[in-house]
Amino acid sequence: MRGLRKRYGDVDAVNGVDLDVRQGEVFALLGPNGAGKSTAVEILEGHRRRTAGEVSVLGADPARAGRDWRARIGIVPQTSAENPQLTVREMVRHFASYYPRPRDPDEVIEAVGLAEQAGRRVGRLSGGQRRRVDVALGIIGDPELLFLDEPTTGFDPDARRRFWELIQGLAHDGTTILLTTHYLDEAEALADRVGVIAAGRMLAVDTPARLGGRATATARVSWRDPDGPRHIDTASPTQVVAELSAKFGGEVPELAVTRPSLEDVYLEMIGAVR
Ligand code: ADP
């Protein structure tokens, strides 16, 4: 997208955003509520008209693209319209019939980890299992590009880990993924790059490790000496560790070197635009 704008009345929901997501990449869009994430994603999906700017998704303008284009993308929306009466297998098979070249429904059910629940009614599944059905419906058309809107909201930590493995598997198989999330650990675990959007503007785009200068930020070296816990904030942590190692004559008790977390730099960024 180039210079993407969306205005609702006198609100600039998206206010001049440029962004490139590369083929095969997992890209996470981060930002507080009202930042403009959903609006931007819905424009990319062809579900919302833009006010101005250029957009190209898989080589087509989503505002004009047709059914062939739509069959190449997959969407996992925040809330989905599942039929609780259908079984998982019936639901997935039904959606497969919408696509010209769908994946095998049983393979997809297996891939999302629902093989054991395939014959169960969707209405009887747990929240995490239903979310897996959503993903199954999003990938049944064998999309080149998958949109995932806050995919793990409400998951327990174990379900979230398993979901991440599923997404990593799709990415490994070459699916390009655009993800929105409120979980910084999720962005860090899954995304090749993240974009931080606030008040309709893109504040930064970088890898999770480098965002906001994290990779070169001052580090904190902490350890325990006989008097208790100690720390030093330093631009040259390797040097400090070498000195501590010499001082202790080997292992430094409870040694840790930390830099600002993704959450730290994210909160600082969005705090600055408030
Ligand atoms: P996010 O997904 O980051 O929470 P949204 O894209 O939903 O942000 O919203 C961005 C801004 O646009 C907000 O100020 C929101 O109130 C406004 N907005 C979103 N959708 C509409 C709409 N259909 N009509 C009017 N204003 C809207």
The predicted-structure confidence for 87-101, as pLDDT tens digits, reads as follows 999 999 999 999 999
Q: Quick check: 85 and 123 in contact, CB under 8 A?
A: yes
Residue 32 Cα to ligand 1 midpoint, Å, equals: 11
The pTM of this model reads 0.88
**Residues with a CB atom less than 6 Å from ligand 1:** 8, 11, 13, 31, 33-39
Residue 36 Cα to ligand 1 midpoint, Å, equals: 6
Protein residue with its CA nearest to atom 17 in ligand 1:
13
Residue 11 Cα to ligand 1 midpoint, Å, equals: 9
* pLDDT tens-digit readout, 114-134: 999 999 999 999 888 888 899
Q: Which CATH class is domain 2-208?
A: alpha beta
Confidence of residue 82 (pLDDT cuts 50, 70, 90): confident
Residue 260 Cα to ligand 1 midpoint, Å, equals: 30
Question: How far is it, in rounded angstroms, from Cα 82 to Cα 94?
Answer: 11
Question: How far is it, in rounded angstroms, from Cα 62 to Cα 246?
Answer: 61
Ligand 1, residue 38: give the atom nearest the CA.
2
Q: Which residues is 76 bridged to in the sheet?
A: 148
* pLDDT tens-digit readout, 4-57: 999 999 999 999 999 999 999 999 999 999 999 999 999 999 999 999 999 999
Residue 217 Cα to ligand 1 midpoint, Å, equals: 34
Protein residue with its CA nearest to atom 13 in ligand 1:
34
Where in the chain do CATH 3.40.50.300 domains reside?
A: 2-208
What pLDDT score was predicted for residue 152?
A: 84
Protein residue with its CA nearest to atom 16 in ligand 1:
34
Parallel, antiparallel, or unpaired: how do β-strands 26-30 and 145-149 relate? unpaired
| Residue 273, pLDDT above cutoff 80 | no
Protein residue with its CA nearest to atom 5 in ligand 1:
36
Residue among 10, 33, 39 whose CB has most ligand 1 atoms within 8 A, to mutate: 39
Degrees to nearest 5, angle at CA 199 with 197 and 205: 20
Residue 75 Cα to ligand 1 midpoint, Å, equals: 19
Question: How far is it, in rounded angstroms, from Cα 45 to Cα 212?
Answer: 29
Is residue 93 within a helix (H) or strand (E), and if so which, with residue range?
A: helix 88-96
Question: How far is it, in rounded angstroms, from Cα 39 to Cα 4?
Answer: 11
Residue matched to tokens 């609780």: 84
Question: How far is it, in rounded angstroms, from Cα 4 to Cα 13?
Answer: 10
Parallel, antiparallel, or unpaired: how do β-strands 193-198 and 26-30 relate? parallel
Confidence of residue 214 (pLDDT cuts 50, 70, 90): confident
**Burial per residue of 168-182, b for 16 or more beta-carbon CB atoms within 10 angstroms, e otherwise:** eebbeeebbbbbbbe
Q: pLDDT exceeding 70 applies to what percent of the chain?
A: 99
Question: How far is it, in rounded angstroms, from Cα 272 to Cα 32?
Answer: 13
Residue 183 Cα to ligand 1 midpoint, Å, equals: 20
What pLDDT score was predicted for residue 274?
A: 64
